[in-house]
Amino acid sequence: MGASGAGKTTLLDVLSGRKTGGYIERDIMVEGYPKVQQTYAMVSGFCDQTDVHSLFLTLWESVMFSAWLRLPNDIPSDKRSGFVAEVLQMIELDEIKDALFSVTSVSGLLAEQRK
């Protein structure tokens, strides 16, 4: 996506609302509309590449855990599972959903897949 130092992480930090230093000089627009952080947070997810995941969880379990943290409490478990399946299919990781996060040599995720 760009060379080191090109601003990829800064862009993602600004879009996710996680930028803690510096200042933003312009308006943030999404599809031509002003970005509303609360709405944007409901339809997007951002996992920093330095985030720590449990070494003993599968990809499916990690995304499901995130779904339990992000989605409203009134959404039933089977619907959450459906959302997780849809997300994994969209990002083309559904075929390796049972791979462990940590053990790359034994049915684990490659570095690119972990990112």
Extents of the domains making up the chain: 1-46, 49-115
Token pair of 81 as six digits: 């599972």
d(CA 55, CA 38): 31
| pTM, entire model | 0.58
Residue 60: CB atoms within 10 Å: 18
* pLDDT value of position 86: 93
Query: Is the pLDDT at 52 greater than 80, yes or no?
Result: no
Contact 109, 100 (CB under 8 A): yes
**Contact at 8 Å (CB) between 96 and 58?**
no
Report which of residues 51 and 5 the model is more confident about.
Answer: 5
> What's the chain's Rg over C-alpha atoms?
16
Mean pLDDT of 43-49: 71
